[in-house]
């Protein structure tokens, strides 16, 4: 009986899936911890950064593996980012300051993976990332008055209370990088699942140049008014991502044929 169990486990582990060589397509989804780094907000006694989780509800993958172990991937992911801050006045919480950003992020990755000789394997990827802002806003919610005041909006309106100016605009494009590591599992000869931990960061300030110039001018005129040093406001995030991937049959069959010839 023990021998039969051992042989069954061995067959399960050594089940040969189609190779990763060829064209891959897939869908993915993720959930991450989002951060907005800004010295003025983080050092101010009037703001306390709250742990903020956001989803990346859906994304798509297109890739090509030149071998079982090395490939190139391009992803297009609808990603929600931002940060929430508790607002304090005289040590009493009076509201919440929120930054909400919706991006289409496009990572361009080099992927390294173990050979799919077994059902399970590990992989890692890294590369640059392009971020296109779809919608963004920054606002204050008052706990006492129940009123929302907008600091910035990607699509300003005139029918809501606001104190943003025309200079308070958000950058439409950002450039950054991403790294990821995780596991893959073949459920059939052409279909496999992935689960990975991913870290990403944008390099540019999320605010427009005009907004930054206005802030720097105010800071130079009255630096004591600011609790922290003048700095950039950058977005970063880290979390988990799962995906369902499919190797196009033409390449899977071609690779199987090459393996038989070997």
Residue 18 pLDDT > 60: no
pLDDT at residue 218, rounded to an integer:
72
- Rounded Cα gap, residues 83 and 46, in angstroms: 15
Mean pLDDT of 169-186: 93
Could you tell me which residue, 252 or 124, shows the higher pLDDT?
A: 124
pLDDT at residue 16, rounded to an integer:
46
Per-chain mean pLDDT for the chain = 82
Model-level pTM?
0.82
- Domain of residue 238: give its range: 2-261
pLDDT at residue 207, rounded to an integer:
86
CATH for 81: 2.40.160.20
Could you tell me which residue, 12 or 182, shows the higher pLDDT?
A: 182
pLDDT at residue 143, rounded to an integer:
84
Pair type for strands 191-202 and 173-186: antiparallel
Mean pLDDT of 89-98: 90
CA atoms within 13 Å, Cβ hemisphere of 68: 17
pLDDT at residue 130, rounded to an integer:
97
Number of domains in the chain: 1
């Amino acid at each position: 009986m023990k021998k039969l169990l051992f042989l069954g486990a061995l067959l399960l582990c050594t089940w040969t899936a189609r190779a990763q060589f060829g064209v891959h397509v897939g869908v993915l989804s993720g959930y991450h911890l989002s951060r907005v780094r800004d010295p003025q907000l983080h050092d101010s006694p009037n703001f306390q950064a709250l742990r903020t989780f956001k989803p990346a509800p859906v994304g798509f993958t297109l890739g090509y593996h030149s071998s079982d172990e090395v490939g190139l991937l391009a992803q297009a992911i609808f990603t929600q980012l931002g940060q929430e801050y508790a607002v304090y006045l005289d040590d009493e919480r009076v509201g919440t300051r929120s930054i909400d950003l919706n991006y289409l992020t496009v990572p361009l990755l080099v992927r390294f993976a173990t050979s799919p000789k077994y059902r399970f394997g590990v992989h890692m990827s890294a590369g640059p990332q392009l971020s296109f802002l779809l919608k963004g806003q920054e606002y204050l919610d008052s706990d006492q008055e129940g009123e929302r005041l907008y600091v910035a909006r990607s699509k300003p309106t005139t029918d809501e209370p606001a104190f943003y100016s025309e200079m308070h605009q958000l950058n439409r494009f950002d450039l950054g990088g991403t790294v990821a590591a995780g596991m893959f599992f073949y459920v059939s000869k052409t279909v496999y699942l992935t689960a990975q931990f991913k870290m990403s960061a944008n390099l540019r300030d999320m605010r427009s140049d005009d907004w930054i110039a206005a802030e720097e001018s105010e800071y130079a005129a009255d630096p004591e008014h600011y609790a922290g040093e003048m700095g950039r406001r950058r977005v970063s995030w880290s979390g988990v991502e799962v995906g369902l991937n499919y190797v196009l049959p033409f390449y899977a069959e071609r690779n199987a044929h090459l393996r038989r010839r070997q």
